[in-house]
Amino acid sequence: MKPATTPLNASPAGSHAWRPDRFMLIVAHPDDADFGPAATAARWIDEGSEGWLVCCTSGDQGGEDFATDPLVLAAMREAEQRAATAIIGYTGVSFLHQPDGGLANDLALRELLVREIRTFRPDAVLATDPETLFHGDAGINHTDHRAAAIAAVDAVYPASRNPMAFPWLARDGLAPHPVRRMYLFWSNHPTVRVDVTATIGRKIDALRAHESQIRHPERLEARIREWAREEGQEIGAEAAEALRLIVIDEDPTDEPGATETSDDDPTATS
């Protein structure tokens, strides 16, 4: 039987076609998901998955004019994210209304995330890579991104599956739920790539919905397509997104979705 995970030492990262029946994407701000693995989410949804998006903040510090009313900006950014969510095809989106620019991986945030996980009950959770402090040598990862990332990891394991964690949630009917995999994006150590040739256009359309954040949409589109083209070259595809796969439960006997491929599997296709 083929192993349940692409080997972590595979280089270049393997093409990847495993698909969760349900997945949740946890991010810090509106637009993070669309700058992240939106084309992967769109592909999975097109193939039959259900996806749910969780934004920890409403992005009320995401402006350049200090006179802007944060409540007005938050409402605008939530509306933009709802429009982008519809373009990608998520079942829905939750806004946790945590402080933008001051997001903290504390018990309160983890409880909110565990509630979301136990409600939607995803097979896989996607989040930014908590180990990414710097983007290579070309930038610093936002503090909110890092906080949302480690909070997502801590909510996935052990809290969402532990009946002793936030026991009042179980009393409210939200039983423990084991997430089986995590996919981490904006990672300096990707292990799989997903062919998104058919859905890269939807990612760009979703990004265009964030009008308050995108000043030069044509330039952004060119950059997004170039990044996807570079990732696609690694697996012989026109466009791809790179992710770091973390397998929490390896038992392959009841895997949802489709197949998984890796560089050392001569029978695999992307």
The Cα–Cα gap between 215 and 220 comes to: 9
Q: Answer whether 244's CB lies under 8 Å from 191's CB.
A: yes
Terminal-to-terminal C-alpha distance of the chain: 19
pLDDT in tens, 32-48: 999 999 999 999 999 99
The Cα–Cα gap between 189 and 131 comes to: 9
How many CB atoms are closer than 10 A to CB 165? Answer: 18
The residue assigned the tokens 């265009």 is 208
The residue assigned the tokens 């989410």 is 41
Q: Tell me the three state secondary structure of residue 159.
A: helix
Strand partners of residue 194? 241
Q: How many C-alpha atoms does 139 have within 13 Å on its Cβ side?
A: 7
pLDDT at 10 over 80: no
pLDDT in tens, 190-232: 999 999 999 999 999 999 999 999 999 999 999 999 999 999 9
The Cα–Cα gap between 136 and 130 comes to: 14
pLDDT in tens, 81-137: 999 999 999 999 999 999 999 999 999 999 999 999 999 999 999 999 999 999 988
The Cα–Cα gap between 148 and 182 comes to: 14
pLDDT of residue 119: 99
Side chain identity at residue 178, one-letter code = P
Percent of the chain having pLDDT more than 70?
87
Q: Answer whether 181's CB lies under 8 Å from 191's CB.
A: no
Label residues 7-40 b or e (16+ Cβ within 10 Å = b): eeeeeebbbbbbbbebbbbbbbbbbbbbbbbbbb
How many CB atoms are closer than 10 A to CB 71? Answer: 10
Q: Tell me the three state secondary structure of residue 116.
A: helix
- Lookup: tokens for 256: 């949802």
Phi, psi torsion values for 116, nearest 5 degrees: -65, -45
Strand partners of residue 243? 192
pLDDT of residue 231: 98
Domains of the chain plus CATH, in order, are: 21-250 (3.40.50.10320)
pLDDT at 59 over 80: yes
- Cβ burial, residue 140 (10 Å; 0-12/13-18/19+): exposed
Distances in Å between the alpha carbon of 202 and those of 41, 46, 154, 198, 245? 10, 11, 31, 9, 23
Q: Which of 66, 200, 41, 199 is nearest to 127 (CA)?
A: 41
**Torsion 140-136-98-91 (CA) sign:** positive
pTM, two decimals, is 0.88
